[in-house]
Amino acid sequence: MLIIINALSGLVIVFLIGAYFVYIACRVFYEMDPDEAKYMRTERKPGTLDVHPSLNAIVLNYEIDVQILGAKENVIYGEKKNLKKIIELPMLNSRTDCYALAKEVVYQCDLIHHSRVSEVEQTIYYLKKRKLSHGSAKDSSSHDFKPTSNPDEPNYNNLSDYIELLYEGMSEKIKGAHLIQLLARDPENLDALSKNETVISALGRVLREDWKRSIVLSTHLVFTFFCFSMYSRFHEVILKCKVGSICMDIIDYELRRYDKWKADLEGVEAPDDVPIVRKPCPSSASMSEIPRSRIPEPVRPKSGNFSETNMKAVMEGSVYDDLTNSTESIDDKKLSETERAKRFRTLLKKQEHLLRVAFYLLLNIAEDESIEEKMTKRNIVGLLVKALERENEELLVLVVTFLKKLSIMQCNKDGMAGLGIVEKLPKLLESNSPDLVHLTLKLLFNLSFDTKLRYKIVKVGLLPRFIGLLSDDRHQEMILKLLYHLSYDDDVKTQFAECVGLITDMLLLNIGNEGDEVMVALCINLATDPINAQQMMKKNRVQSLMMRAFTYQDNMLMKMLRNLSEHKSSKVNFVEFVGDIAKAVVESKEDDFVVECVGILSNLNLPELDWAEIFKHFDMLKWVEKIIRSNNTDPELVLQVVVLLGTAAADEGCAGLLCESNIMNVLIDLLKTHQEDDEIVLQIIFVFFATISHGTKIDYLAEKTEAPAYLIDLLQDNNKSIRKLCNTCLNIIADHSKTWAERIRIEKFRHHNAQWLQMVDSQQLEPEEDEDEEDALPPYLNTEFLGTAVVPPLSDLTDTVPDSEFISQKELDFDYFDRPEMMPDLEIEAM
């Protein structure tokens, strides 16, 4: 419905206003120097709303203020006049939507503020009833009616009156602050309030000067600024008045005052009134220094940090008027114990409302990193940790949320650790509030990135509590992430023995869910402990895990099975799956999956396995040669294949099969290519050792391959394990081959006396050109010299190798040189 403003009335009003301005201008012109008048400023102040006595129209009363300004904007002359504006509603009838029409009136008339929509609606409703009752507007005689709003409800037009109350006594200040706070609760008023310098400066002044005098006054004022903090665009208003700094002073004061109240109630000596202090966070700390995996999820959107329920709780936190009647001290000897306890509860309720609003305001403005850093220097961490001692759940939810946000910074986390935060958190996990429990778990997760804090989490007995919460779907994902972090430490893994079976069953039932990846990573870590491994394999779980791994080609699940297969007591459980695993190795196209399958086979060094038959049945030798010779193969897969060959070579039949298929020469070529990779070199030498340890293939390795020459060369390698294994292999070869025995003895002599030989060699003259081939060696190493030199026998010479670098053949263990498995690097971000 369109609003039709009476054209004639409009013309008359325009004419009158124009004539009025001309009249004032003429008076100014004749009464003062024309050169002094530079500007004319007009201001319209809306007044009351009335109904027209005879028409279907709204009468708006307003005041116009005209001022003549000089060059420096000083007022030379001013005059005020009361005027009226008539808004006709000719289409008003019984079907009119009063609220919609009221909004349209407010939208089109700039003299009516949007906060007066309800007042306009009441006026229109009266006009509608009057028309229906009398049939015609001209029969109406109710021109004395004047709709009024609830006097307790704030009216934006009376803002100047509310500001004046802030300059009166304490009760008037509380009333004025309360009314302004109610205006600020309406988001549509915030923009106008933020541009009103008078109200902002008045609020800031009263908060700065009187915050210690009344908790209720402080609560109203802080709540008003809190309304501004809900939107980032108004944060400048808060920073300009330094409200954040005042809030921290308020929190520190109230926390210490709480300790005094409590001491007075219990009849003990109050603690020293010393502010909570802590070593400030280094100024060099910044968000850019945080690893990507530690960056938490966003704390809040533009307009707040909590759900609608929590926001409503803050907005409707208390009936402030009910709290103004009590004094702010319980140190009154005239009061009985019951009265003192009642007053303490009242004071505590008032204080917790103030703390909640103050912390919430600080949390909102802390979205700016520079502001958060300033808060850290002012010891916000110490204040928050101290507030954890309170019992109000809504306050604790806010405090834990703030701590969670701050905990991503290294200096804040260290500060929390120094204040014993872990010891304060177990009681929060016993809360009946799911939100508080979940936020506490998120905070613990952020803290669990620190090794020392992980130890404290276990020490205070939180691990059983975590296990108890696993069945709650609301917390399951966060619990799994926490348990994954705790499973880093070997000392803690044994404490999972009672629940590892439950976790494994959950994994089997959790196919395709989001938490699957974290759950598998947790099981991978736990599977490295032999006690946990035994529990995980009960109830025929290995078969179920194998079926799932093959069905989904899940390399992470296969890594878990690989860790299980490392334990001696577990190996036998995998014998029945050797054929399936070997088939997957040859046929699968997923390299990561194949790597884990090969790793499982490598762990099965069992005498009952016929590796020769396995290699023949699945034609694995061709696959092995293809993998080793390919230039595009993943180095990790190549390494695992070599480890598998070492395990298979322990079977004498398979060792002969490897020699017949020329795999040894392929390994020597691989040794040349990867001579800088100690892991691959060590595993290749182990294959040589496993092959010659049977005694039947020593001649093949010594006479038909270059293996002995490379073993001699590797005696001088920097890696201790490589030197040790090479020495053992050369001893075996020397015992069975006279051809190599002499050369091996010479090379060991050189190695043992390298420093002396270098000194002697530097004193020798250059050899003549016609020297024969035998004399090409220095005179002290030719055959004649060695025949007369005192060189200890081979058995004695090996004693020159330190005990730590020598292994006798009787002491050899085919598992001794197997590479330890690395845990998966699963990235889990901080919250």
Q: 218 and 354 in contact (C-beta within 8 Å)? A: yes
Return d(Cα 262, Cα 257) in angstroms, integer.
Answer: 9
Q: At what angle do helices 434-447 and 410-418 cross, to 10 degrees?
A: 110
Q: 76 and 39 in contact (C-beta within 8 Å)? A: no
Quick one: pLDDT at residue 793?
42
Return d(Cα 547, Cα 562) in angstroms, integer.
Answer: 14
Polymer length of the chain: 831
Instruction: With 0.85 as the threshold, say if the pTM is over it.
Output: no
For the cut 70, the answer to whether the pLDDT of residue 404 exceeds it is yes
Which letter, b or e, does each residue of 577-593 get, where b requires 16 or more Cβ atoms within 10 Å of its Cβ?
bbeebbebbeeeeeebb
Bridge partner residues of 43 (DSSP): 65
Q: At what angle do helices 337-365 and 215-229 cross, to 10 degrees?
A: 20
Lowest mean pLDDT among 218-222, 661-665, 673-677, 698-702: 698-702
For the cut 90, the answer to whether the pLDDT of residue 383 exceeds it is yes
Return d(Cα 255, Cα 275) in angstroms, integer.
Answer: 9
- Selection from 194, 264, 254 nearest residue 224 by Cα: 194
- Backbone φ/ψ region at 662: left (φ over 0), alpha (ψ -120 to 50), beta: left
- Selection from 703, 699, 621 nearest residue 666 by Cα: 621
Helices (H), 185-281: 187-194, 197-210, 215-229, 235-240, 243-266
Q: Tell me which residue has tokens 């500060």.
A: 415
The 10s digit of each residue's pLDDT in 105-154 is: 888 888 888 888 888 888 888 888 877 776 543 443 333 434 444 556 78
Amino acid letter at 622?
Answer: K
Residue 703: burial class (beta carbons within 10 Å; 0-12, 13-18, 19+): exposed
For the cut 50, the answer to whether the pLDDT of residue 438 exceeds it is yes
Quick one: pLDDT at residue 345?
87
Q: 294 and 304 in contact (C-beta within 8 Å)? A: no
What is the per-residue DSSP string for 32-91?
Answer: S-TTT--EEEEEEEEEEEEE-SSSSEEEEEEEEEEEEE-TTS-EEEEEEEEEEEEEE-TT
Amino acid letter at 624?
Answer: V
Quick one: pLDDT at residue 705?
86
Q: Name the residue with higher pLDDT: 592 or 88.
A: 592
Q: Name the residue with higher pLDDT: 429 or 333.
A: 429
- Selection from 306, 263, 288, 274 nearest residue 379 by Cα: 274
**How many Cα atoms occupy the beta-carbon half-sphere of 420 within 13 Å?**
6
Quick one: pLDDT at residue 334?
67
What are the CA-CA distances from residue 31 to residues 26, 37, 294 (Å)? 9, 11, 74
Return d(Cα 547, Cα 541) in angstroms, integer.
Answer: 10
Lowest mean pLDDT among 197-201, 436-440, 629-633, 688-692: 629-633
Provide the token pair at 754. Answer: 């390298």
Provide the token pair at 240. Answer: 């300009």
Lowest mean pLDDT among 265-274, 576-585, 672-681: 265-274
Quick one: pLDDT at residue 84?
84
Q: Name the residue with higher pLDDT: 804 or 108.
A: 108
For the cut 60, the answer to whether the pLDDT of residue 286 exceeds it is no
Return d(Cα 228, Cα 224) in angstroms, integer.
Answer: 7
Average pLDDT of the segment spanning 713-720: 86
Average pLDDT of the segment spanning 25-32: 50
- Selection from 722, 667, 719, 715 nearest residue 691 by Cα: 667
Q: 604 and 566 in contact (C-beta within 8 Å)? A: no
Average pLDDT of the segment spanning 611-639: 91
Return d(Cα 484, Cα 491) in angstroms, integer.
Answer: 14
Quick one: pLDDT at residue 515?
53
The 10s digit of each residue's pLDDT in 174-210 is: 999 999 999 999 998 999 999 999 999 999 999 999 9
Positive or negative, the CA dihedral 386, 229, 119, 82 is: positive
Lowest mean pLDDT among 369-373, 501-505, 751-755: 751-755
For the cut 50, the answer to whether the pLDDT of residue 435 exceeds it is yes
What DSSP state is assigned to residue 816?
A: T
Quick one: pLDDT at residue 43?
80
Quick one: pLDDT at residue 22?
52
For the cut 90, the answer to whether the pLDDT of residue 466 exceeds it is yes
For the cut 80, the answer to whether the pLDDT of residue 281 exceeds it is no
For the cut 70, the answer to whether the pLDDT of residue 604 exceeds it is yes
Quick one: pLDDT at residue 799?
40
Q: 225 and 201 in contact (C-beta within 8 Å)? A: no
Quick one: pLDDT at residue 270?
60
Average pLDDT of the segment spanning 699-710: 85
Give the CA angle between residues 412, 825, 293 to the nearest 5°: 30
**How many Cα atoms occupy the beta-carbon half-sphere of 387 within 13 Å?**
32
Amino acid letter at 479?
Answer: I
Residue 223: burial class (beta carbons within 10 Å; 0-12, 13-18, 19+): buried
Return d(Cα 830, Cα 481) in angstroms, integer.
Answer: 10
What are the CA-CA distances from residue 642 to residues 622, 647, 819 (Å)? 14, 9, 11
75-88 sheet: strands from edge to edge? 39-51, 57-69, 75-88
Quick one: pLDDT at residue 320?
37
The 10s digit of each residue's pLDDT in 550-559 is: 988 899 999 9
What DSSP state is assigned to residue 809?
A: G
For the cut 80, the answer to whether the pLDDT of residue 701 exceeds it is yes
Return d(Cα 479, Cα 464) in angstroms, integer.
Answer: 11
Give the CA angle between residues 341, 343, 348 to the nearest 5°: 95
Quick one: pLDDT at residue 755?
62
Could you tell me the pLDDT band of residue 33, with boundaries at 50, 70 and 90? low
Could you tell me the pLDDT band of residue 20, with boundaries at 50, 70 and 90? low
Quick one: pLDDT at residue 735?
86
Provide the token pair at 152. Answer: 């307790």
Helix, strand, or coil here: 213? Answer: coil
Return d(Cα 115, Cα 493) in angstroms, integer.
Answer: 63
Could you tell me the pLDDT band of residue 321, with boundaries at 50, 70 and 90? very low
Could you tell me the pLDDT band of residue 6, with boundaries at 50, 70 and 90? very low
For the cut 90, the answer to whether the pLDDT of residue 416 exceeds it is yes
Q: 444 and 462 in contact (C-beta within 8 Å)? A: yes
What DSSP state is assigned to residue 427?
A: G
